[in-house]
Amino acid sequence: MKLIGLRARVSAAFAIGALLLSACISFVSYESTRNTLFAERERTAVRATYYDAAVVNAGISGPYPDLIAVLRSLDTGADRYVLLYFDGRWHSRSADPAADTAVPVRLQEMTAAGEPGAQRIARNGEPALIVGIPLSRGAAFYEIVSLGELERTLQLLALVLTAVAIMVAAGGAALGWYVTRHALHPIAAVADAARGIAAGDLTTRLPAIEPDLAPLTVAFNDMADQLTRRLERDRRFAADVSHELRSPLQTLEAAASVIAKRRDNLDSRSAAAVTLLTAEVGRFQALVNDLLELSRSDQPAQRQAVDVAELARRVCRSRQLPEELVQLAPDVPTVWQVDRRRLEQALGNLIDNAVRYGGGPTAVRVGAGFVEVDDAGPGVAEADGAVIFDRFVRGPAANARGAGDGTGLGLAIVAEHAAAHGGTAIVTERPGGGARFRIDLPGCLP
Amino acid sequence: MSAVLLIEDDDRIRMSLTMALEDEGYTAHAVATAEEGLAVQRERAADTVLIDLMLPGMDGYECIRRIRRTDDVPIVVVSARDDTHDIVAALEAGADDYVVKPVAVKELAARLRALRRRGRSAPPAGPVTSVLTFGDLEIRPEAGEIRRAGVPVSVTRTEFRLLCELADHPGLVLSRHQLLLRVWGHEFGDERVVDVHVGRLRHKIEADTAKPRHLVTVRGLGYKLQP
């Protein structure tokens, strides 16, 4: 089940709250408006009826009154309907057989008892008000006022109020969305900081600008501090271990060289053992150096102007490889701002890697802000490409563990050196087979 | 047979390196402290000094500075520390070269041989006394002399050879790598050694080290000596 997000929930709560509030206000104002309007209408109707009743009363006072003429003389407008009860018969302006049924019995009884009265009724499906006034000689005058117009006005008012309530609810939802965006803004900052740390920038800390979120900020920064301390401790441990190994290694190296000098005086078994010993001391040494290098890899690059083409040729020479391997991209300056020692080591490690696992390098390319090493090997499977720059990952050739076997740290160091320059190390397919290792060094071109 | 003074406080390293250096044809005198080392050097004046930086009592840096007051003997630091800071500090104290433990005995021997060469890497045949002049700077490679405005300047052997190397190619840029190869005999080494020695030389031959007149840096390429 997909959880409803915090922002959606807060917005919904805001919307419901706004809807309830506006509905209440609308209802109360509707009711009070309705009562006021009805009361006003009733007062007007009663006043008009009294006036008309006085006219009719005067009209029927003669011996043979013309009832129809009297009724017709009244100025009633379209929404008023008059009825006269006189001499036990009902009279209206037009012949209306149902005239008598329009007046409720209770009102008839009241007027018969000489009491004026008013009552709400439904007439032709519309609300109406009937006002009855007793006249002289047992007659009674009734006026029926249609309230349809008023009802329609109130219906319109109700419609408008409902629309307003809905709009207020929508406004509440929008407000909730807006407010939560602001409330969640510090959370977004936390997410950014966490991403920064995950990307390796351990100096990322949250500024304490939001007092209400102080516990979060403090906890986050504590976590980052802990992480930094822990990584630092690990790194220092690796550095200390490697460092402590250097002194005994120096003894081993010197002592092994003393024995190796006398190999000819040894029997064949001892000589073989000395050979093994010397080789392993060499490998041990390389491993310690690589571990130390890695433990220091977080240090920033010491950039200086370096002729990278010359450096690449020199790295090839140092490995007894032809300088012609180095290819220069046309129109690219070869003096870059890089850490000379680290670039030299990275390039050397890539070339050593090509020699060990790639059947030897076929080209060392110096391009615009990148160097590439192509090899003649079987290439790197895509799955291996993701982990090949990890520590202690070795290629298939390493299974045999020959004399030329590396430490398993070479490419990890390459990646770290590239990262120290703000760049990356990647491996791709070389067109025509083999692998292509590439170090991107952004911002090193003059 | 040349004599090496080894100042190293780790007994096992001292013993094994002494044996290995003797195998390489040196007579090695090994001591455990800087104070002993200074006394031995005053008395017997070894041809080369190998010194560790972390020593009980007086440390390696101070020991190098004290030797340098009176002696231009080549000094090679053999240390487990390989921070740029340590390397530069040791070289600035006056060391000629710096190797990080563990160092292969063959490599150490090669470096010692290179440092013990005197004068130019390829001296001209026959007894010549040439004078190379760069403005107010006079270099006499055969006599081993440098004068600035007629006043002799005291330099170490390595500084002298570095200057001669540059003086042999007036106005030409020599890369750090070329200098490293010709002066220190390193096929592939740490170029910071060159930078620090150039800095030391500038202090001795330049009026304003921030704006060198003779020994100038060519950005990205190396150094050259000019009048």
Model confidence pTM above 0.90 = no
Check if A6-153 and A211-295 are the same fold: no
Spell out the CATH class of A304-440: alpha beta
Contact between A251 and B219 using a beta-carbon 8 Å cutoff? no
Which pLDDT tens digit goes with each residue over A30-78? 999 999 998 998 898 889 888 888 888 888 877 777 777 888 888 777 7
Per-residue tokens: B177: 């790598």
Q: What is the helix (H) or strand (E) element at residue A57, kind and residue range?
A: helix A6-59
Smallest CA-to-CA distance from B186 within B122, B113, B120 is with: B113
- The reply to whether B52 touches chain A by the CB within 8 Å rule is no
Residues in CB range of A254: below 8 A, 6 or more apart = B13, B16, B17, B19, B20, B105
Measured CA to CA, the distance from residue A316 to residue B25 in angstroms comes to 33
Distance from CA of A220 to the nearest CA of B (A): 33
DSSP-assigned letter for residue A217: H
- Position B148 scores a pLDDT of 85
User: Quick one: CATH architecture of A211-295?
Assistant: Orthogonal Bundle (1.10)
**One pLDDT digit (tens) per residue for chain A, 446 residues:** 567 788 888 889 999 999 999 999 999 999 999 999 989 988 988 898 888 888 888 888 777 777 778 888 887 777 788 888 887 788 887 766 566 677 888 888 888 888 888 888 887 788 888 888 888 877 888 888 888 888 889 999 999 999 999 999 999 999 989 988 888 887 788 888 888 888 777 788 888 777 777 888 888 889 889 988 888 888 788 777 877 888 899 999 999 999 999 988 999 999 999 999 988 888 888 888 888 888 877 777 888 888 899 889 988 988 889 989 899 988 888 888 898 889 999 999 999 988 888 888 999 999 888 999 998 888 888 778 778 888 887 766 544 444 456 788 889 999 999 988 888 898 988 888 888 999 998 878 77
Report chain B residues whose CB lies below 8 A from the CB of A248. 12
Report chain A residues whose CB lies below 8 A from the CB of B175. 307, 310
Edge-to-edge strand ranges of the sheet holding A89-92: A89-92, A80-86, A140-146, A126-134, A117-123
Residue that the structure tokens 């030409």 belong to: B172
Distance from CA of A263 to the nearest CA of B (A): 13
State the ipTM, two decimals.
0.84
Radius of gyration of chain B (CA): 18
- The reply to whether B107 touches chain A by the CB within 8 Å rule is no
Contact between B175 and A307 using a beta-carbon 8 Å cutoff? yes
> What is the fold, at CATH topology level, of the domain defined by A6-153?
Beta-Lactamase (3.30.450)
* A144 close to A80: Cβ distance less than 8 angstroms: yes
Smallest CA-to-CA distance from A143 within A106, A200, A93 is with: A93
Measured CA to CA, the distance from residue B134 to residue B148 in angstroms comes to 10
Average pLDDT of the residues of chain A: 85
* A424 close to A418: Cβ distance less than 8 angstroms: yes
Is residue A396 reached through a cis peptide bond, with omega within 30 degrees of 0 on the bond before it? no
**Cα distances (Å, whole numbers) of residue A264 to A258, A272, B137, B168:** 12, 11, 55, 45
Contact between B104 and A253 using a beta-carbon 8 Å cutoff? yes
Query: Which of B17, B82, B221 faces A254 most closely, judged by CB atoms?
Result: B17
**Which of the residues B188, B193, B198, B217 would you substitute to probe the A interface, choosing the one with the greatest number of A C-beta atoms within 10 Å?**
B188
Which pLDDT tens digit goes with each residue over B70-83? 888 899 999 988 88
Measured CA to CA, the distance from residue A284 to residue A195 in angstroms comes to 37
Residue spans of the domains in chain A: they are 6-153, 211-295, 304-440
- The reply to whether B187 touches chain A by the CB within 8 Å rule is yes
Low-confidence ranges of chain B (pLDDT < 70): 1, 118-129, 188
